Structures are given as structure tokens and as C-alpha cells.
Amino acid sequence: MKNLNRLLSSMLMLVCLAPVSPAAQDTLAILMASLAHRDNREAFFIEERHASYLNSALTTQGRLKAVLPDRLEKIIVSPEPMTQVITGNRLIQSRHGVIQKEISLDRVPALSVTINTLRAVVFGNLNYLKKTFTAEYQTQGQNWSLQLIPLNEKLKAQISSIKVLGKQDKISEFLVTDVNGDFSKTRLYEHENK
């Protein structure tokens, strides 16, 4: 009996430590394959940044466009027009066509992970998610949620979690929560939300 309890306890620990259950992993693999084959990778967004150093949420609006193999374009129209283009590990920020800032994502690990996670989900890169996070994937009807917890200790010290919500093969929300409680929530829409 003692050995049976030990075996059951060990099995329970393995189940609790498993990144994604086999059934959920299969369903997640299907979702990621579906996302990888989407033709239209463009959406309108409203992003809210909540931080302890801000008196109120910082809200930006615009368009997000993803172009294979790894390019993300964030065209901000409000509160002030700006374009952010991410290709590879470079972020270029410009206003009115004039480059204002160029950043290597390697120098900002938390930003790099956030951007690479968004790219991984948009482009259906399940391998990146598996090697970087413990994932909890759930579905309810056509809606789904993907909760990602960093595996790397350095990232755990900065990012508490990343949660992605969607319906069928469309992403509707991307929530990044820092360990200090600050967070940014990006809601995505197919049509401009006025």
C-alpha cells in the first residue's frame, strides 16, 4: 500500500508539473497550425498600459500587422501617431517617416519575450512557446485561452504571466503581467473600434 501511495503521489506530481496535458497539447497544436495558416494577419488594437508610475492607464490605438517570417508593424494613431516595426531582434520606432529610436531586443529581455511570444502566437510557432513557457490551454466552445508562465528564472523575475485569449483562429486579447503587478492589455479587433 505504501508503494502504491508513493506511485500515485509521483504520478500526481508529474501531472502537476507537465507543461501541457497531451489532449490539450493536441488541441493547442491544432490551434497553432490554424494560426500559422491564416492569410490575414492584420487587426486594429487598443492597448492599455497600467503601471504604478502612471497616474492613469496609458492607452494607445492603431493597427497591428504581421508579415512572415517575423515582422510585426504597430501603427499607432492615438494618442500620437507613431510606427514601431520589429524585424528579427530589432525594434525601429519612427514618427512621420523619421526614425526616432532603434533598439536591439537582446538588450531588453522582457520586451523581447513579450514580442517573440506575440509573434509565436500570431505565426503559430508552438516550438517557441514550448521551450519558453509552461502553458495552460483551455477551451470553452469556440473560445480559448492560453496562460503562459516563463520557464527561465531571469524572465520569472520580470514577467509573471502572459495570457492570450481568442475565438477559433483569431486572437482577441494579449495580457502581459509583470511581477510587480504592472500590466498591459491589448485587445484586437477585425474592424476599427470607435
- The answer as to whether 14 is a domain residue is no
Query: pLDDT means per 10 residues in the chain (194 residues)?
Result: 32 32 65 80 94 95 91 94 94 93 90 88 90 92 94 90 92 95 95 63
Give the containing element (helix H, strand E) for 139. Answer: strand 133-140
Per-residue pLDDT at 38: 73
CATH of the domain at 92: 2.50.20.10
In a 3-state reduction of DSSP, which class is residue 46? strand
With CA atoms as reference, report the closest residue to 103 among 88, 111, 87, 92.
92
Half-sphere exposure of 147 (CA within 13 A, CB side): 6
- The answer as to whether 1 is a domain residue is no
Q: Contact 160/175 with Cβ under 8 angstroms? A: no
pTM of the model: 0.80
- The answer as to whether 3 is a domain residue is no
- The answer as to whether 194 is a domain residue is no
- The answer as to whether 8 is a domain residue is no
Q: Given strand 98-104, what is the order of strands in its sheet?
A: 98-104, 90-95, 82-87, 71-78, 58-67, 42-50, 183-189, 170-178, 159-167, 143-150, 133-140
- The answer as to whether 88 is a domain residue is yes
What residues make up the domain containing 50?
A: 20-189
What 8-state DSSP symbol labels residue 181? Answer: S
Q: Report the alpha-carbon distance of residue 40 to residue 30 in Å, rounded.
A: 18
- The answer as to whether 46 is a domain residue is yes
Chain-centre distance for alpha carbon 95: 25
Per-residue pLDDT at 26: 64
Per-residue pLDDT at 131: 93
Structural domain count of the chain: 1
Per-residue pLDDT at 190: 85
What 8-state DSSP symbol labels residue 107? Answer: G
- The answer as to whether 49 is a domain residue is yes
